[in-house]
Amino acid sequence: MKKKSGLGKGLAALLQDINHEENFLEEQDANLVREPVSVSKVGDGIDQIPIDDIIPNPDQPRKKFDETALLELSDSIRIHGVIQPIVVTPKDGKYMIIAGERRYRASKLAKLTTMPAVVRRYSESQIKEIALIENLQREDLNPIEAAMGIKQLMDEYKCTQEAVAERIGKSRPAVTNYLRLLTLTDPVIELVKQNRLSAGHAKCLVSVTDPDAQLKFAKSASDGKMSVRDIEKAVRVYLNPEKYAKKNPPISIELRELINDMQHVFATKVKAIGNDRKGRIYIDYYTKDDLDRIHTLIARIKK
């Protein structure tokens, strides 16, 4: 049976691949295999490396790091040390980070002089792919960043959606949904990048092909002003107006925006039945405090 290539495995398997040495020596130049000498052996394949000998990967897909989160991790490292070693590869007399740049940055903030690392030898192609896969496995990854990383993996490594799903530990439908986000217009994509529109909301807008209508829906739903179910319903009505005209007269975007504003002001659920010409608006309250708050707001408006 033919043995699978390390590139067909997930990140954890790639980092433990015992065949990487042979592949590396076949593909890398002499500069990359030159190792620094200022390394202390910790054991279990982990080295203690001076931070000054570690360099970031210039091709790291992740360019921005949350400063608050870095400071919190730095405080933890200052107290408990680096619990999980980073992964590096020898490069031009230094060690280039393959996985763990966030831990490296936090360790520098904590003013550590050395940090634990696992030294591995990878080809340039493997380095790039591992960096992409590690980036895609971040918990705080923005949906658009994830979609772009998936597309890059598919384009550069000729991967199918199934192969990408296996490598990053996600389902194939999840990969498909990420890629669909890239078909949205640029202004809507920007709202998702800014975390003003969730992936769930954005996914509902993929079927809205008119750019102006798509953006209008996106702005109406942004910043939590509409639930995913609300935007799904609004898009269904927009795409099939004849089907819903008699059964459920559609609420205009302007009326929806009014309802959203009322919900924000009263800090409770507000719903409308009808249309721009005739209907009812319901304001819910669940406690006496809710009712008192609404009463106070109405009193201010009367003045």
- Which amino acids are annotated catalytic? 101
Q: Is residue 122 within 8 Å of residue 92, measured between CB atoms?
A: no
**Tokens 């999980």 identify what position?**
84
Q: Is residue 191 within 8 Å of residue 205, measured between CB atoms?
A: no
Task: Give the pair of three-digit tokens for residue 14.
Answer: 């790639």
3-state secondary structure of 139: coil
Task: Give the pair of three-digit tokens for residue 274.
Answer: 């009808």
Phi first, then psi: what are they for 103, rounded to 5°?
Answer: -65, -35
The full DSSP string for 167-212 is HHT--HHHHHHHHHHTTS-HHHHHHHHTTSS-HHHHHHTTT---HH
Q: Is residue 261 within 8 Å of residue 272, measured between CB atoms?
A: no
**Closest listed residue to residue 125, CA positions, set 215, 206, 26:** 26
Kindly tell me the burial class for residue 111, based on how many C-beta atoms sit within 10 Å of its own C-beta (0-12, 13-18, 19 or more): exposed
Q: Is residue 173 within 8 Å of residue 150, measured between CB atoms?
A: no
